[in-house]
Homo-oligomer: A and B are copies of this chain.
Amino acid sequence: MGEFFEHFFQVKSRKEVEDVITSSLRSLDTEEVPLDFLLGRVVGKTVIAPEPLPPFSRSTVDGFAVISEDTFGASEGFPALLKVVGSVSMGALPSFRIQRGEACDIPTGGALPEGADAVVMVEHTESPDPSLVEVFRPVSPLENVVRAGEDVDKGSVVLTRGQRIRPQELGLLSALGIKEVTVVKIPRVGIVSTGNEIVDPSESPRPGQIRDINRFTLKGLVERSGAQAVFVGLVPDEEAALREACQKGLEACDLLLLSGGSSVGTRDLTLKVLETFEDFELLVHGVAVSPGKPTIIARVGEKMIFGLPGHPVSTWIIAYLFVSRAIQALTGAYENPSVRWDQAIVDQNVPSAQGREDFVRAKVQGRGRAKTVTPVFSKSSVISSLVEANALIRVPLESEGVYKGEEVDILMLL
């Protein structure tokens, strides 16, 4: 059995692995998607404003549209007296024009009539009769007004490539009358579960067997990362079966995840099978990350394949760090929606070995500078520890651990 360990692991650091992923993948093709389905999508082509926003100058208060100069010097003691020549209705352009000495009443959001350049808030006025208004405070030009194009100029950039669409972007698109946006296609991520001991969760495991776990954690993470999970199948540790599943997955998907059995034998099998594909290239064989060291990343043509470690916790952490990064690269998104780094004060010592970057399951409490984090020590095979944890403490590669009271990097488990 010793020969398994003679296998040469040219272990790469997290940063190196991230660079390999980013440089090996390019973003998928784009498609036109209507406004109703854009939430969470990644912009594939710069969006330009087809018209100004607002399309006309609007009042931001209820009050009286005026020529600002007519109010200069107005005060409680010496109000400016203006003639009310009309009333602006919502949803219509006023048909009249404001001349010197005139005003008109205007609701919030109403279109500013020609001639007027400011609005006096109703609180700063009094109307002795409907045809007159007394103004008690001066307004400056454009006060209480949003100018046409002040929000967005016609022709200006509204959204840029790589931006992820949040609710607020939907609002802006709607305001500008943009009915669809060119976005990057949703990556399809294939999942193949392997291992003689693994059974489909719908079946009752016989003694010595366990149910498939990784399929579901991976599916969840893939969906959180903005991609679509495709379950390709559960296959035993047999070359022909694994090759067929890989073939199928590579044809149907943009990225393939093999959540291998946990034994060295399975890992060797994964590599053996992948090597039979034309255009196979081994990109990463072992990562300096714990748990998760025996990770394989390869490429068959343009498609990337992850050979994930078997332990559910290792698989999860590696997927969190690297699969989400691959999905990000496939969408060309600026940010990785499933990975959120933060910092916190660790409240006990966390030992580690040099030469690997440790990710220790932990619980975060508090916020801002008072944020503290407590490690949840547990075997890597104990999946309930991931349910208990809400963060991972990062112990850097070059360090022998982190010390109580130190500020550490944490990865939030969303």
Contact = CB atoms under 8 A, between A and B. Distances in A.
A1 B177 contact: no
Interface stretch (A15-23, A183-191, A242-250, A262-270): A262-270
Interface residues of A, number: 105
Interface string A1-43: 1101100000000000000000000000000000110010000
Given A263-B107, A342-B368, A168 B201 contact: no
A62 B4 contact: yes
Nearest to A207: B93
Nearest to A315: B171
Interface stretch (A48-56, A71-79, A395-403): A48-56
A384 interface: yes
Interface stretch (A144-152, A277-285, A352-360): A144-152
A343 B369 contact: yes
Contacts of A109: 195, 197, 210, 261-263, 310
A210 to B, nearest CB: 6
A316 interface: yes
Q: How many copies does the complex hold?
A: 2
Interface in A87-121: 89-94, 105, 107-111
A220 B263 contact: no
B263 A174 contact: no
A173 B90 contact: no
A196 B90 contact: yes
Contacts of A208: 56, 89-94, 110-111
Interface of A: 1-2, 4-5, 35-36, 39, 53-56, 58, 60, 62, 89-94, 105, 107-111, 122-123, 125-127, 146, 150-152, 158-159, 166-177, 179, 195-198, 201-202, 204-221, 223-224, 237, 261-265, 310-312, 316, 341-344, 367-369, 379-384, 386-387, 407, 409, 413-414
